[in-house]
Amino acid sequence: MKMNNVSDAQILIIDAGAQYGKVINRKIEELGIKTVFLPLNSTFETLSQNAASLKGVIISGGPGVGTAEAAQALKDTAFKLDVPILGICFGNQIIASAFGSTVESTKVREDGQFRIKVDVSSPLFSGMKEEQEVLVTHGYGITKIGPELKIIATSDGHIQGVQHTTKPIFGVQFHPEVDLTVHGREVLRNFCYNICNIAIRDVMKNRQALCLEDIRSSVQERTVLALLSGGVDSTVLAALLTKALGPSRVLAIHIDNGLMRKNESTLVVKALKNIGLDVKRVDCAYRFLNGKTWVHVEGCKNAQLSDCLNTIVDPEQKRRIIGDVFMHIMSELLNDLDKDKFILAQGTLAPDLIESGSKLSSAMADTIKTHHNDSPLAREFRNAGKMIEPLRTFYKDEVRELGRELNLPAELVNRHPFPGPGLAPRIICQLDLYPWYLENYNDFNNRLNLICSYHRLRATQSQMLNSLEAQLSDQKREFLISLKDHPRIYPVLLPVRTVGVQGDGRTYSYAAAFSCEAGAKISWDVLSHLTKLVTMLCPNVNRCCFVFGDKIEGPVRDITPTLLNPGAISRLREADSAAMDMLRQHDAMKLLSQMPVILLPLHFDRASRHDPSTKHSIVLRPFVTQDFMTGSAAIPGKHIPEPVVNDIAAAVSGVLGISRVMYDLTDKPPGTTEWE
């Protein structure tokens, strides 16, 4: 896609490193408004190039903190433009600091969907209801308001929005650009149309035509070598390439990396051939599992060659090896052909670049997880002009819409996403207990138990509650007391780490598990609410699950040594196949956006302490989202019928070598869709 010129932009978006910065860009342009996206450290001269047409400025969120120093820097640039300003998250803190407010670490993190109250007399919330459901993700906030500002939004004692008393300057601590802020679009409309006074106009964008034009101008007379996984993105890419260039100039390759689902590669090739694509399948399982790449090791000047993939535990190294092996194979395929007559094509989407911390997305964003299509080697190909990515500005819902426009079959367009690295990020590798069983594990576990036992310990006036009490609002306290009416919840900190996204930054933290006595009538709503509370009150937990079966007491210490070897891969394949078959039997695939199935190296209920740990546990991660940048855990009884969930759990429990089945209750944020 061609970026708008600075000179004709109406809204300037200042990028502070937000995970959702490009989502702001998308949502504003959907309103028919031209934008330009510039980094936080841009000079006044750069920002003011579009002064003639500029109507407003939006300062994005970011992993930093809106300090007085950062506020002063923007006072000398963005604030001098003399147009309305909207600050989001970090941007809100910048505005607060600029006008004398105090911004500091809050007692409790907020990551997820929360209810807030807004001042509907503010033009930012004009025409909206007083109560709103929004996405909040931060560990810092405004604790004291400056004299020139007034509060226009609050939640449970937190300041969620401010407005200058005389100038058109606004700040919100939540994210109006994402789907989890239910009426965020109206907030952005109010800012652009009512506050910035931009005329409402219809947008007539033919994104398919722009893609076709982009492909033809980039490819010219060459032939395209397209890597196809069979997922929505690569299938739409292949259809676009074929329409733009004709089938004779598209060489479609499906690489079987040995990490695909059960029978997946066979089904992928068949499905693509059914829509007229001649796909060549290349079996590379051995090559991937024994793949290596160059990695930077702390304390060493030069990069070092990694160990083989099938011996690696670290999730980022696993992703980088897989991404680089993909690119090496593609490079070799090019060399076998006439490389000057060919160019690579990938179905890279905007979220891939955002989560990988690509400079194409943001100059400052944190790397949450390296996507295989944005590995360092992939970036070399991109920078050298050897690769095209026609979908790089698209989100998943937009790709699906494009697939429908291209008349692709519904079963392909609506397929659940499956990661390019296959099952690799869904197998949590670990060799023993101690790398993750840190000195402070017991402290974190005690904190978790304190939260879930609050309603019992409160009556004893235990001194242990003092630190927790200081972090509880009346609302949180009432909820924890209400747990007395729910079957007893047994919490435990799991000795495994998972990747999360909190405050626009990557976290690599513990997962917590809840269980109840066998046969107890649990409330999924209560467990969901408890998950939100635990990830707020336990800074070292970014994910919570419910464990099916009987209660689990005491620390979990039984680790089954697990690496990316055929045994672990086969076990997950069977569990994943059982889960997906049950979803299809209930015609429930359409109820979910995705359902990753994850293999954990945990053996619960071991018969004898003297026997080795040999079993694994499975986590179901049903997820509901539109753009895949944010989303909600699918709650049984709300998003998916509870009997369906029970049948899936039973089917997976029947797979040989499975110890327990769990259900991930975590929204995104604080947990990513995948566990790694």
Q: What pLDDT score was predicted for residue 64? A: 65
pLDDT value of position 244: 93
Mean pLDDT of 576-591: 96
Whether this prediction's pTM lies above 0.85 is answered by: no
pLDDT recorded at residue 34? 85
| pLDDT higher than 70, residue 362 | no
Question: Hey, which of 315-329, 401-415, 545-559 has the most confident mean pLDDT?
Answer: 545-559
Q: What is the pLDDT of residue 23?
A: 85
**pLDDT score for 201:** 59
Looking at residue 353, what is its pLDDT? 65
Instruction: Share the mean pLDDT of the chain.
Output: 86
206: which residues sit within 8 A by CB, 6+ positions away?
none
Strand order in the sheet with 658-664: 490-502, 505-515, 541-547, 658-664, 616-620, 597-600
Domains 6-195 and 441-664 share a fold: no
pLDDT at 2 over 50: no
pLDDT of residue 641: 97
At residue 466, φ and ψ (nearest 5 deg) are: -60, -45
- Cα–Cα dist 546/503, whole Å: 25
Percentage of residues of the chain with pLDDT beyond 90: 42
| Furthest CA-CA distance within the chain | 79
Convert the pLDDT of each residue in 242-252 to its tens digit: 999 998 899 99
DSSP 559: B
If one compares 145 and 438, the residue with the highest pLDDT of the two is 145
What architecture is the 207-422 domain classified under in CATH?
3-Layer(aba) Sandwich (3.40)
| CB distance 588 to 640 below 8 Å | yes
Q: Is 308 in the active site? A: no
Let me know how long the chain is.
676
The CA distance from 279 to 13, in Å, is 42
pLDDT value, residue 191:
95
Whole-number pLDDT of residue 548: 98
**What mean pLDDT do residues 393-408 have?**
87
| pLDDT number for residue 358 | 52
- The residue ranges of every structural domain in the chain are 6-195, 207-422, 441-664
Q: Would you state the pLDDT for residue 4? A: 40
Check residues 238 and 381 and name the one with the higher pLDDT: 238
Residue 70 has pLDDT above 80, yes or no: no
pLDDT at 271: 83
Catalytic residue check, 371? no
User: What's the pLDDT at 304?
Assistant: 85
Q: Which CATH architecture fits 441-664?
A: 2-Layer Sandwich (3.30)
Out of 138, 158, 164, 177, the active site residue is: 177
Q: Rounded mean pLDDT of 164-177?
A: 94
CA-based nearest residue to 531, from 548, 516, 514, 544: 544
Mean pLDDT value of segment 436-444:
72
**Amino acid 71: pLDDT:** 67
* CATH T-level topology, domain 6-195: Rossmann fold (3.40.50)
139 vs 543: which has the higher pLDDT: 543
Q: Please identify which of the residues 164, 175, 254, 371 carries the catalytic annotation.
A: 175
| Three-state DSSP string of 581-634 | HHHHHCCCHHHCCECCEEEECECCCCCCCCCCCCCEEEEECCEECCCCCCEEEC
DSSP secondary structure letters along 560-581 = --B-SSHHHHHHHHHHHHHHHH
**309 pLDDT exceeds 90?**
yes
Most confident listed range (6-10, 181-185, 535-539): 181-185
1 pLDDT band (50/70/90 cuts)?
very low
pLDDT tens figures, 469-493: 878 888 888 999 999 999 999 999 9
Does the annotation mark 89 as catalytic? yes
| Res 503: pLDDT | 67
Phi then psi dihedrals of residue 308, to 5 deg? -65, 150
Neighbours of 294 (CB within 10 A): 14
pLDDT per position as a tens digit, 598-617: 999 999 988 777 788 999 99
pLDDT of residue 559: 92
Q: Residue 202: pLDDT band by 50, 70, 90 thresholds? A: very low
Name the residue among 443, 546, 534 with its Cα closest to residue 490: 546
Model confidence band, residue 67 (pLDDT cutoffs 50, 70, 90): low
366: confidence class by pLDDT, cuts 50, 70, 90: low
* pLDDT score at 514: 97
